[in-house]
């Protein structure tokens, strides 16, 4: 659902908000899922978490591809993929070790709490991100120099 919504957008403007909101939605869905004992509720919460996860992944990917120079895009995207996909085994190892000590529900709860905190940190840093991306958006013609957007 979030992929269809993001694909229908006409501009990259506002994607940074979608990224932090998606991370918060993912974290809240996973947090609620961590203690759900009802299969129907768990399935619904997994859908919510999936919507949030796709929103953050697609938003970040699109922002990166928009701001990176064309001649460097392939290298940057391969580094992005490596850092996104390549770190999953380490996170899984830590989550598994935590689950072995305190139980899977609490491990998911703590991990999802970290996602929610990260979304708030990202949101607080948005003005700095906008200041860095604004000149690039102006150069690409995404926004006008005299505009309040971006």
Q: Which residue has the tokens 């929610």?
A: 116
Q: Are 12 and 62 in contact (CB under 8 A)?
A: yes
- pTM of the full predicted structure? 0.86
SS3 (DSSP) at 141: coil
Q: How confident is the model at residue 35 (pLDDT cuts 50, 70, 90)?
A: very high
d(CA 150, CA 143): 7
pLDDT single digits (tens) 65-121: 888 988 999 999 999 999 888 889 999 999 999 999 999 999 999 999 999 999 999
Q: How many CB atoms lie within 10 A of CB 19?
A: 24
What is the spatial distance between Cα 88 and Cα 48, in angstroms, rounded to a whole number?
A: 20
Long-range contacts of 73-79 (CB under 8 A, 24+ apart): none
Our CA dihedral for 79, 81, 86, 92, rounded to 10 degrees, sits at: 140
pLDDT score, position 150: 58
């Amino acid at each position: 659902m979030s992929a269809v919504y993001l694909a229908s957008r006409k501009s990259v403007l506002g994607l940074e908000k979608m990224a932090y909101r998606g991370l918060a939605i993912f974290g809240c869905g996973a947090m609620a899922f961590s203690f759900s004992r009802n299969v129907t509720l768990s399935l619904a919460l997994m859908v919510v978490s999936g919507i949030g996860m796709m929103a953050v992944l697609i938003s970040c990917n699109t922002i990166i591809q928009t701001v990176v120079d064309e001649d460097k895009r392939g290298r940057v995207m391969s580094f992005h993929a490596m850092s996104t996909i390549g770190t999953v085994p380490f996170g899984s190892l830590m989550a598994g070790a935590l689950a072995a000590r305190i139980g899977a529900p609490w491990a998911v709860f703590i991990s999802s709490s970290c996602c929610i905190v990260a979304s708030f940190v990202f949101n607080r840093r948005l003005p700095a991100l906008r200041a860095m991306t604004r000149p690039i958006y102006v150069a690409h013609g995404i926004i006008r120099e005299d505009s309040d957007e971006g």
